[in-house]
Amino acid sequence: MCDFKNLDEDSKIKYHLELTKCANSFGGQNFFLQLLEEIRATKPHPLTSKHSDFRFHLGTIKWKKVIFNDKIELLIKTRINETKRGNFLPKKSDKSYKSVLNLVRTLKPIEFTIKPLHREDGSGFKTVAFDIVNDDVTKLNPIFDAVFFCSIDTIKKILNHRIEK
C-alpha cells in the first residue's frame, strides 16, 4: 500500500475505501492522521511497548503480546522488498528466510485494536500484521502497514484519492 503511486486503479480504489472506513471509525480523517503522526513521532517504536499498548490524547491501540525491538527492526527491513517480490517471505534459499518466517509466526496471531477515546467518535477498528495467502505467500496487511509504517503523505494521498466513474 505504501507504494500507492505504482498501483493499478482498482487497487487504489480498494485501499482508499479500506483506509477511509478505518479513518471514519476512528473519528474521521483528522483524528486518524493525528494518530499516525503520534505513532511516527514516538521513539522507540510504539509496537515495542512493554504494556502492549499505545495511548495518546485521542485514543488507544492495544494488543496482547509484547513485541521485541529485534522483531520490529526485521519487519521494517523486510517490508521494503515485499513489493518487488510480491511476497513478504524471502525465497527459501535466502539466509534470512528462517528469521522472517519466525517473525511471521510471532506476529500473525496478534490482533491490534484501535479505538478512539470517546465512543461518539466511532467504534474503532481491528487489524492484524499479516495476511496469509497460502503456505508460500504471506503479505503485510495493508491497514497494519498504513497505521504503523507508511509515510503520512502517502496516507493523505490514499485518503484523498478520487474515484473516477
pLDDT 10s digits, 137-157: 999 999 999 999 999 999 999
63 domain-assigned: yes
pLDDT 10s digits, 83-124: 788 899 999 999 999 999 999 999 999 999 999 999 999 999
The 3 state secondary structure assigned to 62-123 is ECCCCCCHHHHHHHHHHHHHHHHHCCCCCCCCCCCHHHHHHHHHHHCCCEEEEEECCHHHCC
The 10 Å Cβ neighbour count of residue 152 is 12
Q: What pLDDT is stored for residue 6 in this prediction?
A: 82
165 domain-assigned: no
Give the pLDDT band (50/70/90) at residue 78.
Answer: very high
Q: Tell me what percent of the residues of the chain surpass a pLDDT of 90.
A: 81
18 domain-assigned: yes
Per the structure, the complete domain to which residue 110 belongs is given by: 4-159
All three cell numbers of 83, joined, read 513489493
| More confident call, 89 vs 1 | 89
DSSP state of 44: S
Q: What pLDDT is stored for residue 1 in this prediction?
A: 67
pLDDT 10s digits, 20-72: 999 999 999 999 999 999 999 999 999 999 999 999 999 999 999 999 999 99
pLDDT over 90 (residue 74): yes
Q: What pLDDT is stored for residue 67 in this prediction?
A: 95
Q: What pLDDT is stored for residue 165 in this prediction?
A: 60
The b-or-e profile of 82-94 (16+ CB within 10 A means b, else e) is: beeeebbbbeeee
The 10 Å Cβ neighbour count of residue 1 is 23
